[in-house]
């Protein structure tokens, strides 16, 4: 049996551009094609569109427009804030210690490895068996020379949400710069940077039904980063390069739609997630990875004892269901998930993990069809 139409269940990898987002973008490819730095009317129109997008992204996060810097995506935002703040702190105060966790996205982990090669010291905090770190761990790791702390809002593989507000309160009191990678969470769960007391936050447009190649970095007023891209005076002389006006219009529109529809969509996805988890738990040998309570509404990561995920993914794909084994950025890697290993699983157990992520166009019928096909495939494989 296969799905009548292909069923996409990998929204954590990327999302389709919402039709309303595309509609908002189209005029900026053709009619309103001006360079925002130009002084004449074409430029003014483009500049106003970028300003509106900045306001829309700021509103989603509870920030001020002047605290939003546009980037090409989450990876650039992560790299910019880590490298830019690390060198700014080193120059200003000689601080060269960084704190992060073992389950971060590779954009953070590999940036930290690069910084270690430049002479910085990095503490990688361990997590518990559901992928959570505690404020107490962060407090114990702080040193006099700690330059910054970077802890993701929610994990991209297992969906576990970290206690960011608790950590933020601790670090704000200590005056330590705090960044969170919120690429998986922004637009899907309520985020207020003031309540969280974070100093910087990364997000990506293609994770919230906006276009690929767009992103943003929130940077709390009063902090200054070293630039990563040098050239012109764009982004208040912080990030050079002519603005991707259609993309930024799309990012802004996607942020606005996410903010307006978040409450209803969060409730709908949580109900679908519950339907999926209950169906999975009815199958023998299934374990759910990550927290059952502190979890993104659309994320379900599970493993089936004795069944390699590659075999399962191929059979599901042939049946018309698109799911993944973990991070899209690690697709093709023969290494087991660093997240699951950090959570205490063996390499063999990690090779059984499957990630199903739900989104705006997922239905209860999709979940039922997926569970029926999974049950059929598991029966054959066993």
DSSP tag of 217: E
Angle ∠(115,336,294) on CA atoms, nearest 5:
80
CA dihedral sign of residues 235, 239, 245, 251: negative
Non-local CB neighbours of 358 within 8 Å, separated by 6+ positions: 9, 11, 269, 272, 273, 276, 297, 298, 299, 300, 367
What is the pLDDT, as a whole number, of residue 333?
63
For residue 192, being part of any structural domain is answered with yes
- Domain boundary among the residues 258, 277, 309 is at 258
What is the pLDDT, as a whole number, of residue 334?
63
For residue 2, being part of any structural domain is answered with no
* Token pair in block for residue 331: 């697709």
What is the pLDDT, as a whole number, of residue 328?
64
In angstroms, the CA 120 to CA 140 distance is: 19
- Taking the whole predicted model, whether its pTM rises above 0.85 is answered as yes
Q: Can you name the residues that pair with 223 across neighbouring β-strands? A: none
> Of 328, 329, 364, 381, which residue is the catalytic one?
329
Residue 10 sits at φ, ψ, to 5 deg, of: -135, 45
What is the pLDDT, as a whole number, of residue 5?
86
- Domain boundary among the residues 225, 258, 291 is at 258
Q: Is residue 105 domain-shared with residue 248, that is, in the same domain?
A: yes
Average pLDDT of adjacent 10-residue blocks, the chain of 382 residues: 82 98 98 95 96 98 98 98 98 97 98 98 98 98 98 98 98 98 98 98 98 98 94 93 97 98 98 98 96 97 96 96 80 79 96 97 98 96 85
Question: Comparing C-alpha atoms, which of 251, 151, 276, 265 is closest to residue 201?
Answer: 151
CATH number of the domain that residue 311 is part of? 3.90.1150.10
Phi-psi domain of 92 (left: phi exceeds 0; alpha: psi -120 through 50; beta: other): alpha
Q: Is residue 31 domain-shared with residue 146, that is, in the same domain?
A: yes
Q: At 252, is the secondary structure helix, strand, or coil?
A: helix
The domain total for the chain is 2
What is the pLDDT, as a whole number, of residue 335?
81
Q: Is residue 38 domain-shared with residue 170, that is, in the same domain?
A: yes
- The CA–CA distances, whole Å, from 317 to 273, 285, 324, 353, 381 equal 20, 22, 10, 16, 15
- Domain boundary among the residues 258, 289, 317 is at 258
In angstroms, the CA 208 to CA 265 distance is: 12
Is residue 112 part of the annotated active site? The answer reads: no
* Token pair in block for residue 278: 């209950």
For residue 145, being part of any structural domain is answered with yes
């Amino acid at each position: 049996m296969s799905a009548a139409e292909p069923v996409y269940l990998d929204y954590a990898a990327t999302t389709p551009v919402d039709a309303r987002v595309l509609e908002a973008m189209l005029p900026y490819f053709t009619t309103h094609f001006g360079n925002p730095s130009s002084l004449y009317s074409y430029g003014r129109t483009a500049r106003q569109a970028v300003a509106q997008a900045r306001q829309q992204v700021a509103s989603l996060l509870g920030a001020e427009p002047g605290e939003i810097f546009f980037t090409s995506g989450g990876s650039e935002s992560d790299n910019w804030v880590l490298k830019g703040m690390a060198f700014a702190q080193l120059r200003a105060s000689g601080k060269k210690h960084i704190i992060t966790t073992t389950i971060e996205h590779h954009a953070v982990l590999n940036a930290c490895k690069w910084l270690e090669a430049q002479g910085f010291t990095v503490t990688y905090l361990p997590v518990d068996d559901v992928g959570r770190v505690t404020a107490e761990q962060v407090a114990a790791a702080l040193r006099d020379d700690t330059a910054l702390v970077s802890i993701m809002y929610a994990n991209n593989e297992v969906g576990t949400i970290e206690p960011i507000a608790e950590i933020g309160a601790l670090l704000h009191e200590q005056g330590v710069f705090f960044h969170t990678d919120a690429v998986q969470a922004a637009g899907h769960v309520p985020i207020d940077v003031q309540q969280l007391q974070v100093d910087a936050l990364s997000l990506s447009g293609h994770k919230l039904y906006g276009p690929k190649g767009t992103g943003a970095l929130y940077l709390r007023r009063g902090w200054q980063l070293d630039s990563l891209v040098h050239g012109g005076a764009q982004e208040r002389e912080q990030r050079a390069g002519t603005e991707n006006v259609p993309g930024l219009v799309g990012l802004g529109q996607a942020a606005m739609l996410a903010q307006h529809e978040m409450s209803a969509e969060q409730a709908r996805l949580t109900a679908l997630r519950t339907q999926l988890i209950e169906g999975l738990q009815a199958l023998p040998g299934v374990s759910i990875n990550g927290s059952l309570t502190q979890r993104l509404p659309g994320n379900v990561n599970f493993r089936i004892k004795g069944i390699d995920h590659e075999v399962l993914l191929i059979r599901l794909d042939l049946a018309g269901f698109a799911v993944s084994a973990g991070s899209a950025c690690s697709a093709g890697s023969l290494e087991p998930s660093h997240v699951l290993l950090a959570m205490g699983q063996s390499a063999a157990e990690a090779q059984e993990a499957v990630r199903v992520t739900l989104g705006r166009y997922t239905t209860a019928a999709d979940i039922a069809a997926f569970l029926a096909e999974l049950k059929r495939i598991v029966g054959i494989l066993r």
